Structure 1
């Protein structure tokens, strides 16, 4: 049975709360009954007839130790706006799922066109997680999937039921951070404990952990790994770290959006496909907290979720993955491309797609380079965000990744300051992110500002900023800085064999100089100066640097791989040797 907002919270009750708010008691009762039918007893459903009653109920639940997983509120309430209520509720309960409910309009459509401006604004500003038009007869089809998705996201963040590893180590130890980051970006469930915490001391004692050799990783079966490398951890987790064969039809380097798309299409179209990934599924895109403009996901999707869906899809279609090793060499052996791995192993393929993506450019400030992993991070907030609750943090960069990181950090930090070298955000950031940033009160944007120094011993304590607008240099406190400036491809190992631009990006098809191309035919789209070797995604010169663009390039490149594999053995161009009155093949 639903509890009204006027009831006192039940002490000791552990089931999280789902709160339904609306002005029509009969309408609210229908929604509450639908939720109870599907989600009780795992969740308790409560109702409120107004914004004031809902906020009063939330204020009583918190001090009583109750968890609130979801609030579903009508857009129009007797005493206010439903969106405003959802914003205030989210400020009280971090990670609360927010659902905006609409009355079915005269058109009886899935999108409430009569209320479309309000929905567009709330969605663009990130004020809601989902929305629903009430009145659809089949709850199984429309209502339950939406709520289940929201509750699944809340459960993953607030009460993971399955933990594979327990990590014991120091919060600001770079080695420990790298370990936890590797687990996080690959979606492996784990908990983290400081060695001087109650749980940390118990784990050290119960499992005989050598405290001198932290961080330690305790497996679900009790096995202890002291200071493990990512390769050791992957092997422990049953992850494949070596190719199972020596020869493939297609080898894809990188499991970011472009590589995953190539893996899906390569495997689905009958090619024996191997993906080699050094660190994590999804690449930089996999660390994005929320992608709102990817086709087909109107409510948005996290980069990690998108990447893991693609990984599962590629795996089920037959693609093979091998993790934790980098590629150090590319050579030709007849009609095969031969790749050398960092452990000396070699793997051959009839065709190769380079989809290794890019890395963020370093600041090049010595005092900050010494604190990488200890308050200085290159990439998204991810595993570090919960450690900066109530702190001042900074994000350096003006592109989408920086904006997403600032919004994610703002859920934890007292203030997140976005440092942008340019004069505006519009040059590199999507409009929907700019609008969300402007609407987030604890995000500050500082334009024409650069980091020129920093300070800290065991961890970052502050930054030195140069403000070109005010022509001043100042010291500011900072618990963490996340740097997302520019993009650098790691292609030094390719320089001896492939044509690169001045920044190291791989040149393909029309961007190749005629002197770099060895065959009589024109290079295929995405083909490098080495026939049979293609490049897709961020690593390629002239790419769009967007997730959708990378996915498109990776999938389309496979089509041209097929064309390459179907052609006869390449015929070298003819060179006329006029002095000998003969023709020579080169």
Structure 2
């Protein structure tokens, strides 16, 4: 068994020459008939009752994506399902299925659902006739499109009748195939991890690599490949997990600091002084990094573990502005990290900040190794962590069937198992939908009386439409059992006032949110739960200046807070991004005040006076 890392590359490794039109070398299905295909090449299937339209789409796809993919066609749902069954029986892979909304023997959406049951993880594409308005969204079929999108029955759609496939067809298909290839065609691997699948240390290592987008594969120590690698690289089997680098170097039971150094990641600031230091590289911190660096501030981001924070572990975010087909939290976070890096922001990983002090009229941040970094302004964007259940029998099984946060690296190990998700907010809904692609059954446990109270409507509708997801309201976990790994849970049904023991392969807990801000209590105003007070919420008795606090400014001038750690934040990705961006504007106002107090021109005035 191998487990690919989150950001592995793709593409077929079996090139061959293929013409644009069907030939003997091209495995194209005649209408309603099956034909043997080369099992090494993943398949793209186009299902359209109109022979001319279907072949036009298929020919365009062959011109662009052969020989890495075989493009097949079928004229009906029945014929396409028959051939998908043959491909599944033969072990052939299908990457993408595109079906017309109006098939002669059924609806295209229903066919795509059945196709996904035969070949999991395929890209599902709904095809529409171009209507009289000639727009990208077919308004005459808008109701069907909205329903399929809201229920998560399709991944994206395409309008037929395009003039230029470079504009209307290829970009969407390429994006879908790239995502499929990253999951199924790993070609660039930085680390090979050897260990025990249910060992908490091994899980923590793999999870750390996954959330940071480092390509790796996992081999259990008792697998044939695992045993072979242990012998070939002289791995000390008593000190697992082990990470074998691409160059053959072995890291025995490595910490994330060792992995970061091995991977060339910066773990110490390059300077001692900065204009702006941002704590946390979640959505708020990344936005602050982008805007701080792009506006000329010497910007440093300090992150203890992973790019993207909790949002980075979301399998799919469908309500983020300008991504109509959705985007994974990891992809969104890594795009933002790349953007901030190219604009000049500096990232330092694996360090936590333990204290905030005053230094020379500015601020000093003390890191876990005792070193300090000075800055004129600080933005706290440390986010929150999921609240633990506080059940001793489950606490000892964290990483061995008990997981706090999204499914992440553990999802693929849930095949044919019954798993539980605890929580009623968006993160729990996204985790349940992601797990449902692998597990035989997913049960969502919600303490409240309704799933709609804390979850977005689009997620509720998708969960209700997913057959292997069940929701139990007014139910909570009160205990658990297991030896080396989780075996079962004890539930309390508040409605029926009864206790129940259920078998469980895993439980994913996404309840509540707790800020890790105890270290800030001596220097900042916090609410009773530890969230940072900012702006008008700062008590007047705690504010030292005559002016009012700037937006997002804390009780300490020059220190700002944005995102989930801030009292009153909306706990949404878009909200965190907006707060991180706007907070940089307040930083500029604060720095301008410092410059004015020192009799110096503001940064903005200096920039305007400097010739380009």
Could you tell me which residue of structure 1 aligns to residue 162 of structure 2? 136
SS of 1:275's partner is strand
Could you tell me which residue of structure 1 aligns to residue 5 of structure 2? none
Cα separation, 2, equivalents of 1:333 and 1:456: 51
Residue 406 of structure 1 deviates from its aligned partner by 0.3
Given the alignment, which residue of 369, 375, 382 partners 1:356? 382
Gaps of 5+ in 1: 572-586
Is 1:523 the counterpart of 2:511? The answer is no
Could you tell me which residue of structure 1 aligns to residue 607 of structure 2? none
SS of 1:329's partner is strand
Taking structure 1 as reference, are residues 565 and 95 closer, same or farther at Cα in structure 2, changes over 3 Å only? same
Is 1:172 the counterpart of 2:198? The answer is yes
Could you tell me which residue of structure 2 aligns to residue 256 of structure 1? 282
1:25-36 correspondence to structure 2 within 5 Å: 25-36=51-62
Given the alignment, which residue of 451, 472, 477 partners 1:446? 472
Cα separation, 1, equivalents of 2:353 and 2:260: 18
Cα separation, 2, equivalents of 1:524 and 1:444: 46
Taking structure 1 as reference, are residues 61 and 520 closer, same or farther at Cα in structure 2, changes over 3 Å only? same
Given the alignment, which residue of 145, 149, 159 partners 2:175? 149
Residue 568 of structure 1 deviates from its aligned partner by 3.6
SS of 1:349's partner is strand
Cα separation, 2, equivalents of 1:341 and 1:562: 25
Could you tell me which residue of structure 1 aligns to residue 534 of structure 2? 508
1:13-162 correspondence to structure 2 within 5 Å: 13-162=39-188
Given the alignment, which residue of 332, 342, 363 partners 1:316? 342
1:165-244 correspondence to structure 2 within 5 Å: 165-244=191-270
Task: Provide, for residues 480-533 of structure 1, a one-character-per-residue CA deviation record: whole Å limited to 9, x for no partner.
Answer: 000000000000100110000000000011111100000000000100000000
Given the alignment, which residue of 279, 283, 286 partners 2:309? 283
Could you tell me which residue of structure 2 aligns to residue 579 of structure 1? none
Cα separation, 1, equivalents of 2:594 and 2:34: 79
Could you tell me which residue of structure 1 aligns to residue 362 of structure 2? 336
Is 1:293 the counterpart of 2:319? The answer is yes
SS of 2:470's partner is strand
Is 1:559 the counterpart of 2:559? The answer is no
Is 1:366 the counterpart of 2:392? The answer is yes
Could you tell me which residue of structure 2 aligns to residue 542 of structure 1? 568
Asked if the contact 2:53–2:160 (Cα under 8 Å) also holds between the matched residues in 1, the reply is: no
Task: Provide, for residues 392-411 of structure 1, a one-character-per-residue CA deviation record: whole Å limited to 9, x for no partner.
Answer: 10000000000000000011
Asked if the contact 2:278–2:301 (Cα under 8 Å) also holds between the matched residues in 1, the reply is: yes
SS of 1:183's partner is helix
Could you tell me which residue of structure 1 aligns to residue 500 of structure 2? 474
Task: Provide, for residues 182-235 of structure 1, a one-character-per-residue CA deviation record: whole Å limited to 9, x for no partner.
Answer: 000011111000111111111111111111111000111111100000010011
Could you tell me which residue of structure 2 aligns to residue 427 of structure 1? 453
Residue 11 of structure 1 deviates from its aligned partner by 5.9
Asked if the contact 1:519–1:570 (Cα under 8 Å) also holds between the matched residues in 2, the reply is: no
Residue 174 of structure 1 deviates from its aligned partner by 0.2
Asked if the contact 2:193–2:218 (Cα under 8 Å) also holds between the matched residues in 1, the reply is: yes
Cα separation, 2, equivalents of 1:118 and 1:422: 32
Residue 3 of structure 1 deviates from its aligned partner by 3.0
Cα separation, 1, equivalents of 2:187 and 2:241: 23
Cα separation, 2, equivalents of 1:175 and 1:219: 18
Cα separation, 1, equivalents of 2:186 and 2:109: 29
Q: Give the paired residue count.
A: 571
Cα separation, 1, equivalents of 2:586 and 2:161: 49
Residue 5 of structure 1 deviates from its aligned partner by 5.8
Taking structure 1 as reference, are residues 394 and 140 closer, same or farther at Cα in structure 2, changes over 3 Å only? same
Task: Provide, for residues 24-73 of structure 1, a one-character-per-residue CA deviation record: whole Å limited to 9, x for no partner.
Answer: 00110000000000000000011000000000000001111211000000
Asked if the contact 2:303–2:352 (Cα under 8 Å) also holds between the matched residues in 1, the reply is: yes
Taking structure 1 as reference, are residues 422 and 570 closer, same or farther at Cα in structure 2, changes over 3 Å only? farther
Cα separation, 1, equivalents of 2:143 and 2:32: 33
Could you tell me which residue of structure 2 aligns to residue 577 of structure 1? none
Asked if the contact 2:420–2:508 (Cα under 8 Å) also holds between the matched residues in 1, the reply is: yes
Cα separation, 1, equivalents of 2:502 and 2:596: 61
Could you tell me which residue of structure 2 aligns to residue 269 of structure 1? 295
Taking structure 1 as reference, are residues 326 and 157 closer, same or farther at Cα in structure 2, changes over 3 Å only? same
